[in-house]
Structure 1
Amino acid sequence: MIRHPQQIPVVDDAGVTTAPAEAIIEEHIAPAPRVSVQAFCETVETAAAVQSAGEDRRLAKAHIKIQMGGAIAAVEAYRSGPTPNVIIVESEGRAEEIVEGLDQLAEVCDSGTRVVVIGRINDVMLYRELTKRGVSEYLIAPTGTLDVVRAICGLFNQPNTKPIGRIVAVVGAKGGVGASTIAHNVAWSTARDIALDSVVVDLDLAFGTAGLDFNQDPPQGVADAVFSPDRVDTNFVDRLLSKCTDQLSLLAAPATLERVYDFGAESFDAIIDSLRTSVPCTMLDVPHQWNGWTRRLLIAADDIMIVAQPDLANLRNAKNLADLLRQQRPNDRRPLYCLNQVGMPKRPEISPADFAKALEDEPAAIIPFDPQLFGTAANNGQMIAEVSSSHKTTELFRQMAQIVTGRAEVKRSRGGLLSPLIGKLMKRSA
């Protein structure tokens, strides 16, 4: 975590601002492109760390191969063959041995190959000697999974290169829980209050509501990109965007039933890759359905927000989603969740404390049931802040925007009692 002296409010259990706390800006490790990586390790611990890194979603496009033997094995491997994009070399020897091994590797290393060295000597003179010889990164053992992920990804996302944007996916635990409304309002607040250029991508091609919510009717949108993958690049996607505000654009869904929208798991990869290179924050409005491409988008996102209403089916689905995503994304922050339409009159509800116990985490926000406010915004094609800038729900969306962009943290769960029915549900899912 990178600590920053700026003061930022923390969201409490009820989703309201507590006393200012030191801002915590979450480290954002941008994914690596399609590259080949070969590691030559001397210890099983380092080999295990590289193996685990290769399973991280940020290295999903990288092809990683691991071999034991250190620099000697690397030199032998490349005497008669081309070198990959990245070579990782571990050495447990002295500084002189590390430098000597690199000099031998340089004789067989192709131009353009980047070298990462892992050693046990923490010495600035050695570091300067390595950088003088063209080493891209030096890691001090023992190294962990994130150290390797950070090193490889950092090679292709240097400060002098084009910035890599953040992808936030918002999905409902059930249909009709208001996930799209949450996604649109958080994106609007990200653009207005945090001043980040943002794009909303409406992925519910048949029934998407982003065009209605932003009072837009663009002739083109996300369908034009997904059905023309060979044409997708930054300029093509830019032409498809509809401008909502100075810093917010929309990649709208057609919201028509003229065709069937069946996609392969990788159908949206080109669109997301293009947006990453051109937009600081992309908000994916993911429809409530489970197939290859929705699963892939959720796992690959930098942050995930699950939207749920306070009933048992929502709790079960939210827990299933959270558990799967934690398993598939072991090196990422836990998926966030918020409770929507809380406090509906005469409706029995599961308490936020029970949700927090089941999901082992506090909600990022608790949004109260307010049909007048949300209905007015929806019918007018406006955001909540445009209807009432001083409303407490407007402040909640601002806080959620801070959280999903890594500028604030949600308090962790303090536990609580579960009702017998929820306890049975948890036992079944355990």
Structure 2
Amino acid sequence: MDLPGEEIIAPLPRITLQAFCETPAVAATMQAAVADRRMDKAHARIQMGGPAAAVEAYRTAPTPNIIVLETVSDPATLVSHLEALSESCDAGTKVIVVGHVNDVQLYRDLIRRGVSEYLIAPLGTLDLLRSLSELYVAPDARNLGRVIAVMGAKGGVGASTVAHNVSWAIARHLDASTVIVDLDIAYGTAGLNFNQDPPQGIAEAVFAPERLDSNLLDRLLSRCSDNLALLAAPAVLDRTVDLDEDALEQLLDLLRASVPCIVLDVPHQWSSWVRRTLLSADEIVVVAEPELASLRNAKNLVDLSRATRPNDAVARLVLNQVGMPKRPEIAAGEFAKALGVEVLCAIPFDAQLFGTAANNGQMIAEVQAGGKASEAFTQIASALTGRGEAKRSRRSLLEPIVAKLKRRKAS
């Protein structure tokens, strides 16, 4: 089942792109698009001069994978430039034209001449990114998986517990196929929390990327239920985890292409690969406790997401272990005000419930269905996936009927 939330624009592959603009506004939009996380792999260059400059540039130089041309000239001049450009264009080069006139006849003429897309200025950054992405994403693969990265503001705040229970809620209550990826390779707890001990998992995927393909990935996944699978961490100390910045790219590309929802359990550490993985996710969830160290670290993470992801929603905030006895706490309103975001959910402290679930290898809803904590995880799952309401269980659908029959019997 696909998730119906916000449209997901696929990241571009490792391509080269050159844009030839004629107005500052379109050049600024191009710059914003190039700076977006979805363009991390692309090598782009932006210059002024329009189609005439492109024709001159490629008389003796090879053409890139994509050429973006802005034109303010009349259609006849544009067509003549395109004809001249076609003489030096390499096979496979795609051309996008940005014009300032909404002309259907011109659009049809450009498409007949092999232009991939005609966009009308002014255009937004996401409009441009969408058009670029669709050049490389097959029509039957555009419903890409949503990547949700969950990270704790500090160690011990329960981010892994939140990640695992939210994943369970997405799979169970929202009926969406979900994969949990435990990225804490040395100390991950996903296997324990789901009472799984798979012989293989995330280590085989990241330490031998040359072997990774869809068939191997399917073998590495441990099935927790019909809709939920786990890419578990080995949780052994036989080697250090010094990954390259792009170590997870191939894995996430494969998961995006095959699973509607991917939840990343991100360890509380700060390295190039953690930063890259966190900031490239479709949704970021920061889990914090209502105390000062969490406030400081959560603010740093939220500010970073706001500064580096201008075309995405800001990181979400979940407060965990709220109401711990005898602990002075920062009020949720004050916490949210300091970060400039709303609290997505506040999960109440319940040592007995969470301890029992952890020791039994169960999810909170399996220990106490219908409790406040279970409802909190379903609420988080609904918000992150764009579902206003979770799928109601068969029991809840029958409850009004059962209650009505009881009233009749009593009367």
* TM-score of the aligned structures, taking structure 1 as reference length: 0.85
2:101 counterpart SS class: coil
How many angstroms does 1:378 deviate by? 1.3
- Of the candidates 303, 306, 316, which is equivalent to residue 323 of structure 1? 303
Deviation (angstroms), 1:273: 2.3
Matches within 5 A, 1:250-399: 250-399=230-379
Per the TM alignment, residue 66 of structure 1 is displaced from its structure 2 partner at its CA by 1.4
For residue 146 of structure 1, what is the aligned residue in structure 2? 126
Structure 1 residue 158, shift from structure 2 partner: 4.0
After superposition, the C-alpha distances for 1:10-60 in whole angstroms (9 at most, x for unaligned) are xxxxxxxxxxxxx99323211111111111111122222212211111000
Alignment map for 1:207-226 (pairs within 5 Å): 207-226=187-206
Kept in 2, the 8 Å contact 1:213–1:383? The answer is yes
* Equivalent position amino acid for 1:164 in 2: L
Alpha-carbon distance in 2 for matches of 1:408, 1:84: 43
Q: Secondary structure at the match of 1:364?
A: strand
The structure whose residues are more often helix, as a share, is 2
**Partner Cα distance (2:77, 2:308) in 1:** 39
Q: Please state how far the C-alpha of 1:274 moved relative to its aligned partner.
A: 2.2
Letter in structure 1 aligned against 2:229: S
**Paired residue for 2:56?**
76
Residue matched to 1:39: 19
Residue aligned with 1:25, SS: coil
1:194 match: 174
Say if 2:160 and 2:190, in contact at 8 Å, map to a contact too.
Answer: yes
Residue 401 of structure 1 is matched in structure 2 by 381
Aligned equivalents of 1:207 and 1:67: distance in 2? 48
1:130 corresponds to which of 99, 107, 110: 110
- 1:258 aligns to what SS in structure 2? coil
**Sequence identity percentage:** 59
State whether residues 26 and 407 of structure 1, in contact with CA within 8 Å, keep that contact through their aligned partners in structure 2: no
- Contact kept, 8 Å, 2:145 with 2:256, in 1: the verdict is yes
2:406 aligns to what?
A: none
Structure 1 residue 162: Cα displacement: 6.2
Aligned AA (2:42) = A
Counterpart AA for 2:206: V
Matched, 1:230 2:207: no
The answer to whether the aligner puts 1:240 opposite 2:220 as a matched pair is yes
State the SS of the aligned residue for 2:226: coil
The letter for the 2-side match of 1:72 is A
Alpha-carbon separation, structure 1, partners of 2:90 and 2:73: 25
CA distance in 2, matches of 1:257, 1:45: 53
Give how far 1:135 is off.
2.1
Cα gap change, 1:285 to 1:42, in 2 (>3 Å): same
Which residue identity lines up with residue 251 of structure 1 in the other structure?
L
- Give yes or no for contact 1:32–1:58 (8 Å, CA) kept in 2: yes
Cα distance, 1:106–1:252 mapped onto 2, change above 3 Å:
same
* Mapped pair 1:97 → 2:77: yes
SS at match of 2:298: helix
Partner of residue 25, structure 1: 5
CA distance in 2, matches of 1:165, 1:24: 11
RMSD: 1.9
The answer on whether the counterparts of 1:186 and 1:400 sit within 8 Å (CA) in structure 2 is yes
Separation in structure 1 between the aligned mates of residue 25 and residue 319 of structure 2, nearest angstrom: 42
Aligned to 1:420: none
Shift, 1:351, TM fit: 0.4
Moved more, 302-311 or 258-267: 258-267
In the alignment, does 2:214 pair up with 1:205? Answer: no
Counterpart-to-counterpart distance in 1, 2:168 and 2:110 = 46
Superposition deviation, residue 254 in structure 1 = 0.7
Shift of 1:109: 2.2
Superposed CA deviations along residues 33-92 of structure 1, whole A, max 9, x for unmatched, are 111111111112222221221111100001111122211222222233332111101001
Counterparts in 2 of 1:125 and 1:392: CA distance versus 1, 3 Å = farther
Query: Any gaps of 5 or more consecutive residues in structure 2?
Result: 390-411
**What is the distance in 2 between the residues matched to 1:319 and 1:103?**
53
Q: Is the 8 A contact 1:37 1:85 kept in 2?
A: yes
- Tell me how far apart the structure 2 counterparts of residues 92 and 364 of structure 1 sit (CA, whole Å): 46
CA contact (8 A) 2:141 2:257 kept: no
Given that 1:114 and 1:135 are in contact with CA atoms closer than 8 Å, whether structure 2 keeps it comes out as yes
**Does 238-247 or 385-394 show the bigger shift?**
385-394
Q: CA deviation at 1:272?
A: 1.9
Provide the rounded CA distance (Å) in 1 between the counterparts of 2:179 and 2:140: 24
How many residues are paired up? 387
Per the TM alignment, residue 358 of structure 1 is displaced from its structure 2 partner at its CA by 0.5
Asked if 2 retains the 8 angstrom alpha-carbon contact of 1:54 and 1:64, the reply is yes
**Aligned mates of 2:336, 2:4 — CA distance in 1:** 22
Aligned partner of 1:156: which letter? Y
Tell me the distance in 1 between the aligned counterparts of 2:228 and 2:78: 50
* Structure 1 residue 147, shift from structure 2 partner: 2.7
Q: Which residue of 2 aligns with 1:415?
A: none
Unaligned runs of 5+ in 1: 1-22, 410-430
Could you tell me which amino acid in structure 2 is paired with residue 260 of structure 1? Answer: T
Q: Is the 8 A contact 1:25 1:408 kept in 2?
A: no
The whole-number CA distance in structure 2 between the counterparts of 1:156 and 1:404 is 26
Deviation at 1:308, TM superposition (A): 0.3
Q: Does structure 1 residue 171 correspond to structure 2 residue 145?
A: no
CA distance in 1, matches of 2:5, 2:358: 33
Distance, in Å, in 2 between the alignment partners of 1:37 and 1:69 is: 16
